[in-house]
Chain A
């Protein structure tokens, strides 16, 4: 039982990272309908940004974090401008930008691979290495930091979509592009912003997980798959779905390894089986979309 509490916080932190990646998918998916598999690579870029600014140049954490995320915003926006916009304007089928972004996965990964040595690079913890204990429940500073930041981001996202005019504009574009355009909503601005925001969120996820996993050029694809699974489980209809899905996925993964009487080699199959089950039985995810 004690193990469970010990796992709880760490699993929640992992789940938060998956949730962030899921949110990154969502931010691009809602207004544009494009599934952007490159979010994993964006997370990797966030991790490397952390390495360069925080480990190599030793900037103070808040400054490094903000700058790294700022760079990611620019990367996201420019990806949209260069790779996605031309296709959308040409009226290409929806599949085309999705595939172009898959191509970008390779481009991002290889760029990092060419610039940095292939070994994993250390990224510092936000608040240093230490633990907080609340009775039976305890976790590292990093876990709590991750959970806290994620909750803040999700609250912000929820607030944005539910309460602000700009958020409603996003929704409108998601529901009906033509009508949104007719009502004066600037489509290209919305798209660019959604990509930029998606990049920031994904990069944040990468930055938060990297102190544990290190930054290395192959970390993108597993994260992309885990984030996607989180989204499917939670449902694409609502922002909170990504977080819920992420938490469930992380808990399922880790509890299976800890408690299930199967050799841990097979435990890797758990997220995959979970994904397939959800897809077959409840593809819309756990949380239903609004209205």
Chain B
């Protein structure tokens, strides 16, 4: 509630940044589950974000499906792709999965660029609006409220899972797959479910993103952002939801703060800061918080 209410007090610009920040937090939470809790290094998260965004726009405006059907189709699409990637790669060692998903991410961009009429090619698609839901037009701060809802819902789902036996199974798989198997956990199935679930969540976030600027185009979903997502979760503290939130907030807002101060060299400073963060606190910033609390 607080998150949503805050939206009404901010100007347009801040609202926009806030919205995007919330979306990144959503993504980071999901990614944290996949990477931090389940131990799978994947670079495809952002591709699913893009898949969700593009699919809803295409289903709504190219195929003219009604909104609820479009949403379901979009989710179905993400789930399908996720399964297609997850099932064969369940057998792969951690870093091979990373590679395969990196390749997937890039392939996605290639398809987007070459997609011609359907994906709008290199220019993307613009010129659309969120259709009315039950006769309501969601704009501005109201839309921010929707996003806030998304974040909270994602967090709730993931936190629940985390505490359940599934979460424990994931951790077991992350720390020691052989031991987990010995204890009766179906390693492959756990991995596949975790991957598919978080990818679908990313897809949903993507659908919401499509209407933030009412534009989708290939550069938005590039691999640079996939790396950024990884950095966010690491710097914040992998494995902890709070870590994902802190990391996402910090790394997303950092360029905005740095820009006025350092101007030209903002990306360099950013890189240095990230390296320093990893060097000084490999457990992530949330580790610092832990230490303070323990005192």
The answer to whether A and B interact is: yes
Chain A interfacial positions (CB closer than 8 Å to B): 35, 83, 86-87, 90, 92-93, 95-96, 99-100, 102-107, 109-111, 113-114, 225, 228, 232, 263, 265-266, 268-269, 272-273, 275-276, 279-280, 283
B274 within 8 Å of A (CB atoms): yes
11 pairs from A and B in contact (CB 8 Å cutoff): A86-B279, A93-B282, A95-B234, A103-B274, A109-B267, A110-B265, A225-B106, A266-B110, A273-B107, A279-B92, A280-B100
Chain B interfacial positions (CB closer than 8 Å to A): 41, 88-89, 92-93, 95-96, 99-100, 102-104, 106-107, 110-111, 113-114, 227, 230-231, 234, 264-265, 267-268, 270-272, 274-275, 278-279, 282
Alpha-carbon gap, A279 to B275, bound state (A): 29
Alpha-carbon gap, A93 to B102, bound state (A): 22
Whether B114 contacts A266 by the Cβ 8 Å rule is yes
Alpha-carbon gap, A111 to B269, bound state (A): 10
Known A-B contacts A228-B99, A232-B99, A272-B106; A103 and B265 likewise in contact (beta carbons under 8 Å): no
Whether B278 contacts A103 by the Cβ 8 Å rule is yes
Alpha-carbon gap, A106 to B234, bound state (A): 16
Q: Chain A contacts of B41 at CB under 8 A?
A: 95
Out of B89, B99, B113, B271, name the residue touching A110 (CB < 8 Å): B271
Whether A110 contacts B100 by the Cβ 8 Å rule is no
Alpha-carbon gap, A80 to B282, bound state (A): 16
In the complex, how many angstroms separate the beta carbon of A250 from the nearest chain B beta carbon? Answer: 17
In the complex, how many angstroms separate the beta carbon of B177 from the nearest chain A beta carbon? Answer: 16
Quick one: which of B96, B113, B278 has the most chain A CB within 10 A?
A: B278
Report the nearest B residue to A280, measured CB to CB: B88
Report the nearest B residue to A231, measured CB to CB: B99
Whether B282 contacts A96 by the Cβ 8 Å rule is yes
Out of B92, B230, B278, B279, name the residue touching A280 (CB < 8 Å): B92
Out of A83, A93, A114, name the residue touching B268 (CB < 8 Å): A114
Whether A276 contacts B103 by the Cβ 8 Å rule is yes
Closest 4 A-B residue pairs measured CB to CB? A106-B271, A110-B268, A103-B275, A92-B282
Out of A96, A114, A263, A276, name the residue touching B100 (CB < 8 Å): A276
Known A-B contacts A272-B103, A283-B92; A114 and B265 likewise in contact (beta carbons under 8 Å): yes
Secondary structure type dominating chain B contacts: helix
Report the nearest B residue to A232, measured CB to CB: B99
Whether A83 contacts B279 by the Cβ 8 Å rule is yes
Report the nearest B residue to A110, measured CB to CB: B268
Alpha-carbon gap, A232 to B270, bound state (A): 31
Alpha-carbon gap, A179 to B114, bound state (A): 53
Q: Chain B contacts of A114 at CB under 8 A?
A: 264-265, 268
In the complex, how many angstroms separate the beta carbon of A103 from the nearest chain B beta carbon? Answer: 4
Q: Chain A contacts of B267 at CB under 8 A?
A: 106, 109-110, 113
Whether B268 contacts A111 by the Cβ 8 Å rule is yes
In the complex, how many angstroms separate the beta carbon of B186 from the nearest chain A beta carbon? Answer: 20
Known A-B contacts A110-B271, A266-B110, A272-B106; A100 and B279 likewise in contact (beta carbons under 8 Å): yes
Known A-B contacts A110-B265, A275-B99, A280-B88; A83 and B282 likewise in contact (beta carbons under 8 Å): no
Alpha-carbon gap, A106 to B266, bound state (A): 11
Whether A90 contacts B282 by the Cβ 8 Å rule is yes
Q: Chain A contacts of B99 at CB under 8 A?
A: 228, 232, 275, 279
Report the nearest A residue to B269, measured CB to CB: A110
Whether B103 contacts A263 by the Cβ 8 Å rule is no
Q: Chain A contacts of B278 at CB under 8 A?
A: 87, 96, 99-100, 103
Alpha-carbon gap, A102 to B228, bound state (A): 10
Whether A102 contacts B92 by the Cβ 8 Å rule is no
Alpha-carbon gap, A58 to B100, bound state (A): 43
In the complex, how many angstroms separate the beta carbon of A105 from the nearest chain B beta carbon? Answer: 8
Known A-B contacts A102-B230, A106-B267, A110-B265; A269 and B107 likewise in contact (beta carbons under 8 Å): yes
Report the nearest B residue to A106, measured CB to CB: B271
In the complex, how many angstroms separate the beta carbon of B111 from the nearest chain A beta carbon? Answer: 8
Alpha-carbon gap, A83 to B227, bound state (A): 18
Quick one: which of B103, B231, B282 has the most chain A CB within 10 A?
A: B103
Q: Chain B contacts of A104 at CB under 8 A?
A: 271, 275
Q: Chain A contacts of B265 at CB under 8 A?
A: 110, 114
